[in-house]
Amino acid sequence: MKKKEGGFPQKKRKWLWGLILGAGCILGVRGGLALWPYPELDLFRNRSYGLVVQDRKGLTLRVFPAGDGVRREWADLEEIPPGVVRIFLRAEDRRFYLHPGVDPLAVLGSALRNLRAGRVVSGASTITMQLARLIRPRPGGLRGKLREAGDALRLEVRLSKKEILELWLNNLPFGSNIEGLPAMGRARFGRPAAALDETRAALLAMTPRRPQRYDPAANPEGAVTAALALSARYGLGLREAALREAAGEAVQTGPGFVEKAPFFAPHFTGYVAASLGAGDSPPRHVVRSTLDRGFQTYGEELLQGALSGLGDHRVTTGAILAVENDTGAIRVYVGSVSWFDEKNSGKIDGVRVVNQPGSCLKPFLYALALDSGFGPQDILPDLPTVFGGGEAYIPSNFNRRFNGPVRLRVALASSLNIPAVYTVECLGIETFEDYLVSLGFDSIAASRGAHGVGLALGNGEVSLWELVRAFSVFPRGGFFLPLKYIEETENDAGRRRVMSPYAAWVISDVLSDRASRFTGFGPAPALATPFPSMFKTGTANQFQHIWALGASRRFTVGVWMGNFSGETVIGRTGSSIPARIAAELLKALETEPSREEPGENAPPEFAAAVPICALSGMAAGPDCGGTLREWIPPDRIPAPCTWHRRTGLVYPPEYQAWLEERFRSGRAGDWSGPGEKSGAVIRLPVSGSVYYLDPALPPEAQALRLETAGFSPEASVYIDHVLQGSLNPAGVHTLPLFRGRHRVTVEDDTGAMAWVDFEVR
């Protein structure tokens, strides 16, 4: 044959055209497969995966199932060790990277084996074909197999080999409602996919074929035998002893068998999952939270230890929340003493549930007072007082004692009730409600307008979450910051100033002032820490709930204890128990390395150290016996003390009864002040009050206290113009009670007179 000049031989041209035609056919087929609609693939790729919640150091806290209830996790192929991937490829499709979705050699080998056996003993499904069957389940028989092969070819033109392998490994069914190697590795060995080794991979590789025969939890012997056969067939070099030891980790122990899924901080992880929409195709499959598993465990142990001896007091559960002040990151979140405590409703989240906080709201009240013109040196009356007029409210201190004039610093540090109610009445209930709402108390916003002066003592309901978030404002210098639960997120956008730096510093200083605290609590050793710290405790008015808040510069801790049924705590169980937990947890948290050197709570630059009279709170004068230092802004420095005089100690007139009845030194001055015409008032009862006779007692055994100030000794007392007697030296008289509307009048020999109306029913 002659060669055509300038061209190829005819035979070679035919081969070339054949190759071009073949390539064109292949490209045409691939193009057709690529254009062939495959909506099932899109649905499958967007299916729900479980959410893995980790702690801040990457330790797994909890794994949530996918939206359909199946335990299915996602792991990128790069996370799975290459040796583990290699074993699954050997077990299922060793020519995976060589075939286009269907393996002709595997089909031929399978056909020969089936012919020899006279029945179907071997399939020829590639990994791509198995994935195609998961995406679009097929009917049995030849027709179904052909459809599966067609879908496999479609997959190969749409996805890379990496994507196919990754999708298959994450969705491979293992039985027991588990899909995917990541979920199976965790369920059987308590390990994420990244921590699996070849030994454990070999035990799992054969499980999808026959879960009941090869699942190491259901049949460890069968799993070991299959793994040894796989190792021998492909020269994997696995040791039988190591396989048996690994299979022992997954042995099912009985009907109550709990697979090795982590279950730490269930209330916290439940909150995280709900916030991210777990089971609803969350935007991520693994989330690193802010929680610290080590401190979480320690907090749980502290709570369990404290509750172990309190069952007889109806203190059956509790909650703890600890946050990092600089970032708002949650480090400890204990919702109850045990999630599994069905008897005491352990699944209720005590961090989020609302309860009466007792005195824990007082720091915020006094911060508002400081930002409204009060000073830490200002005197507040701690006297028997009726607030509220017709709907009378008569608070008392927890020790049933009255301290007379007390400085604001002492009133807060010792958690005195009457000065707090006096303060909220001066500021206004609505003003205090608005202030609490600005501090993030959403529960107060929801009940705005429903509170009386008792709000100062915590008769509104708030959550531990809200209390801790607001309390962390003080060590943060007056800035509010939302709490965050995901480590890599930033929440500085929510940072805002809600109180002055001066108010934040004073409250922090007061609540860390052991000397001022002594009036109400004595030495309080439970609140002692080796670093500067502040504490506030609280008890609900019916003793259902006991609380403690504690903070250092770096961390804030809140503790609630009580019961979810609302029963009154029995006995004298006090808030020193949660306070001890808060202090111990603060000590543990402070062991964390800090980027800054610990420092004292230094006074603000815009306040000066002013010597004041310890009794009057005014600037110390030459006759003052006891003086101390208080930090006061230059524009608020008080006038010199007028209580201590050369002639003796003179109190304001409202302290007359307190002085006389408690045998205090000093005397009460005129109500209107020296040099003016004497004025006089009736302090109790409040005009318009309504009193009720106790039907269990005879009327003659019941009486009403009349308390006055500013009258001359032995002033006359009248009820409905009928003389009843005279005031004692303390300005007090006991009135008889009988039904009806009455007017009590007091008049002295100087002409001073006052009256009030009241009703007895």
Higher pLDDT, 659 or 48: 48
Residue 21 class from Cβ within 10 Å (0-12 exposed, 13-18 middle, 19+ buried)?
Answer: exposed
Closest listed residue to residue 287, CA positions, set 296, 299, 275, 298: 275
Q: State mean pLDDT over 534-563.
A: 88
- In this prediction, residue 673 has a pLDDT band, given cuts at 50, 70 and 90, of very low
What is the reported pLDDT for 272?
93
Q: State mean pLDDT over 749-759.
A: 83
Q: State mean pLDDT over 431-459.
A: 90
Closest listed residue to residue 506, CA positions, set 404, 636, 395, 405: 636
| Average pLDDT value for the chain | 82
* Residue tagged 């749980």 (tokens): 300
CA distance 542 to 545: 8
What is the reported pLDDT for 332?
97
What is the reported pLDDT for 183?
92
Residue 586 neighbours by CB under 8 Å, 6+ apart: 529, 533, 550, 551, 552, 555, 557
> How far are the Cα atoms of 100, 202, 525 from residue 96, in angstroms, in the given order?
8, 18, 70
Q: Rg of the chain's alpha carbons, rounded to an integer?
A: 39
pLDDT tens digit sequence for 256-308: 444 567 889 999 999 999 888 755 555 568 899 999 999 999 999 999 999 88
CA distance 467 to 319: 12
Pick the CATH number of 647-761 from 2.60.40.2470, 2.60.40.10, 3.30.420.40, 3.90.79.10: 2.60.40.10
Residue 749 pLDDT greater than 90, yes or no: no
What kind of architecture, by CATH, is found in domain 43-50+68-249?
A: Orthogonal Bundle (1.10)
Structural fold of domain 356-378+428-589: Beta-lactamase (3.40.710)
Closest listed residue to residue 355, CA positions, set 581, 540, 577, 575: 540
pLDDT tens digit sequence for 61-85: 999 888 888 999 999 999 999 999 9
What is the reported pLDDT for 311?
67
Q: Give the residues across from 732 on adjacent strands.
A: 707
Q: State mean pLDDT over 375-393.
A: 71
What is the reported pLDDT for 468?
98
pLDDT tens digit sequence for 145-203: 778 888 888 888 888 999 999 999 999 999 889 999 999 998 899 889 999 999 999 99
Residue 131 pLDDT greater than 70, yes or no: yes
Higher pLDDT, 514 or 362: 362
DSSP sequence for 120-184: -------HHHHHHHHHS---SHHHHHHHHHHHHHHHHHHS-HHHHHHHHHTT-EEETTEESHHHH
Residue 352 pLDDT greater than 60, yes or no: yes
Residue 479 pLDDT greater than 90, yes or no: yes
Identify the sign of the CA torsion 146, 149, 154, 157: negative
pLDDT tens digit sequence for 571-595: 555 668 899 999 999 999 999 887 6
Count other Cβ atoms within 10 Å, centred on residue 445.
13
pLDDT tens digit sequence for 702-731: 777 788 877 877 888 888 888 888 887 777
What is the reported pLDDT for 557?
98
Q: Model's pTM, two decimal places?
A: 0.81
Query: What spatial distance separates the first Cα and last Cα of the chain, rounded to whole Å?
Result: 134
What is the reported pLDDT for 517?
59
Higher pLDDT, 90 or 751: 90
